[in-house]
Chain A
Amino acid sequence: MASPHLPISSADPYAVKSPGVYSLEAELADVARAQNRVRDPLAVTSALLYLDNITVSFDGFRALNALSLAIDEAEMRAIIGPNGAGKTTMMDVITGKTRPNEGVALFAGVNDLTRLDEAAIAQLGIGRKFQTPTVFDMHTVEDNLLLAIKESRAPFSNFYWQRTPFERERTDELLERIRMTDQRKRSASELSHGQKQWLEIGMLLAQEPRLLLVDEPAAGMTDQETADTAVLLREIAKTRAVVVVEHDMQFVRDLDVKVTVLHEGSVLAEGSLDQVSANERVIEVYLGR
């Protein structure tokens, strides 16, 4: 309450800095972190995320039907598919919200995701961004990031707490990266839709995940914001795996990565966007009815 509200320009707040400019130190730190990961000798697969024959039925309806998918370390993958193709259910299975009826879901070749709860899976290093931006409205931007920073998640260790230098440093670094340094003290409820999307991505980065699941990040964004988001995700994918579920074909084109098409709970096609767009069955599914 110390200062009156600053006049907020109607211009795009992200346009102030050119997209693609971010802290080099932060990037190098991320790369170092990624390179330090040693593969577990017990790993049964080299894929970071390995789904095999996953089936989920709700009252006889098969939301996922023998779905198999493998995502490599630091790979970016776009997942597209018509409504009801099972995209969200797949994310629910990976993050522990839904238990599959059958199939194998392995993370880093050793962790059986079908036996862990959401909190354990998040702590393993899988971050999830929801379709509608979900941030903590009553907290400030920096507190939203603080809660996401990789620190102890146990209740009692958070009773006696002072902001540590590590938390301070990480918060500054993340604010810089999502270009919200000047918004740090604002309440998250005052942010625009696009800013909330970015804040949520910032929270995912704060978790230092090895795999990020991103559900329709471009939904409800302006064209400029959409393009900036594609740049940001491409930067992130240099050091960690990113799975993007998206409807916006222009956005998928901007990402320029391997595409997996889901249909009725299974993989219909895989390849570059041009390849899958030329696929007869994909055209049939998207346009045929």
Chain B
Amino acid sequence: MTGVRIIDRTGAVFLVVLLAVAVLVPVLNLLVPPGSPFHVPDYMIPLLGKYLAFALLAVSVDLVWGYCGVLSLGHGAFFALGGYAMGMYLMRQIGTRGVYGNPVLPDFMVFLNYKELPWFWHGFDMFPFAMLMVLLVPGALAFVFGWFAFRSRVTGVYLSIITQAMTFALMLAFFRNDMGFGGNNGLTDFKDILGFPVQAASTRMALFLATVAALAGGYLLCRAVVTSKYGKVLVAVRDAESRTRFLGYRVENYKLVAWVLSAMLAGVAGALYVPQVGIINPSEFAPAQSIEMVIWVAVGGRGTLVGAALGAVIVNAGKTWFTGALPEAWLYALGALFVVVTLFLPKGVLGLWSSIWARRKAAAAPPVPRPEPAE
């Protein structure tokens, strides 16, 4: 009677699947011999880890879009900032193993004639500090942006456009060499994370499992938020903003809290993504990337959280397959997928699955007697 449970049926299935993935992938990778069709090859581990990092990112997009009605076309910015914070830590771990062997300055700084470390690079040699920045930097940007945007009551398409402008501006800034983030090459050539070699199979497995855990944790956190009374108000804002205002709620504060939380989750996703793909560069800020994230959520099912994660994995698996098999066709396939989902699956893949489930259940159950017409 206390309202919606945090873990509903779909959520339970989702968490069981994640647990199964966390158990099966290491087993199939380590215990099944390489000749077997069930063997998961080493190269698949960071690839799957990347999908799951994107799934966490999609969950963060869904929190603001699906539950609060804020269509962000700039979530790539928060993702990339989290990624850069992790990348800066990884760069500082290289030490004297760089091409130039400078114990303090990363290679690109030596190349660009930096004499000393810029002030904002200090502290990133410490893992806890870097992890704090993974949360704080995207969170702070989201807070400042959201403070002004929501207070000025910018909504709808206008808000989407300025989120897009935000990520575009950051992309241009990060492309500049004198910003101190490696220009268009970004940060790469990582060696160690917490003393373990980034390329080692065991480290990659640990990173993969950390991503599974982060996705499960992020999902549960978002679920706790959306099933609370705060979450009910959030949905109310989405559906009837002025009604909520006239009930006495400060709508801008409600949006701001969800927006900052979402940005932090996106930052965590970025931090998990970077060591698994081995590079972070300004292309992550590209507007097209942020638009793609929205497509993941739409494909999976907006306003369901699980659907967002599902959509991210489906679309990215499709992307991997297409860019290998039919590289020219990928963008057409993505566009077609978006059109099909918008026209025929307004609730996304998850919505399709639930309606099939409901239909099968209805077919299995004895027919419900039709209510007698009144009078």
Contacts of B2 in A (CB 8 A): 162-163
Q: When the two chains form their complex, are residues A10 and B374 in contact, meaning their CB atoms are under 8 A apart?
A: yes
Give bound CA distance, A145 to B5, whole Å. 20
B364 within 8 A of A: no
Q: When the two chains form their complex, are residues B232 and A153 in contact, meaning their CB atoms are under 8 A apart?
A: no
A135 within 8 A of B: yes
Selected from B244, B246, B251, B371, the residue in CB contact (under 8 A) with A5 is B371
Give bound CA distance, A158 to B253, whole Å. 12
Q: When the two chains form their complex, are residues B250 and A153 in contact, meaning their CB atoms are under 8 A apart?
A: yes
Q: When the two chains form their complex, are residues A128 and B248 in contact, meaning their CB atoms are under 8 A apart?
A: no
Interface residues on B, range: 20 to 34
Contacts of B244 in A (CB 8 A): 147
Using A7-B371, A137-B239 as known contacts, say yes or no to A159 and B225 having CB atoms under 8 A apart.
yes
Using A9-B374, A118-B245 as known contacts, say yes or no to A147 and B239 having CB atoms under 8 A apart.
no
B99 within 8 A of A: no
Contacts of A7 in B (CB 8 A): 371-372, 374
A261: shortest Cβ distance to chain B, in Å?
A: 26
The A-contacting residues of B in range 217-241, CB under 8 angstroms, are 224-225, 228-230, 232-233, 235-236, 238-240
Give bound CA distance, A127 to B254, whole Å. 20
The B-contacting residues of A in range 113-154, CB under 8 angstroms, are 117-120, 122-123, 127-128, 130, 134-139, 143, 146-148, 153-154
Selected from A10, A119, A134, A155, the residue in CB contact (under 8 A) with B248 is A119
A156: shortest Cβ distance to chain B, in Å?
A: 7
Q: When the two chains form their complex, are residues B368 and A146 in contact, meaning their CB atoms are under 8 A apart?
A: no
Using A146-B232, A161-B230 as known contacts, say yes or no to A135 and B243 having CB atoms under 8 A apart.
yes
B1 within 8 A of A: yes
Q: When the two chains form their complex, are residues A122 and B3 in contact, meaning their CB atoms are under 8 A apart?
A: no
Contacts of B368 in A (CB 8 A): 4
Contacts of B1 in A (CB 8 A): 163
Contacts of B225 in A (CB 8 A): 159
B247 within 8 A of A: yes
Q: When the two chains form their complex, are residues B228 and A138 in contact, meaning their CB atoms are under 8 A apart?
A: no
The A-contacting residues of B in range 160-188, CB under 8 angstroms, are none
A32: shortest Cβ distance to chain B, in Å?
A: 22
Q: When the two chains form their complex, are residues B249 and A95 in contact, meaning their CB atoms are under 8 A apart?
A: no
Q: When the two chains form their complex, are residues B236 and A139 in contact, meaning their CB atoms are under 8 A apart?
A: yes
Q: When the two chains form their complex, are residues B248 and A163 in contact, meaning their CB atoms are under 8 A apart?
A: no
Contacts of B224 in A (CB 8 A): 159
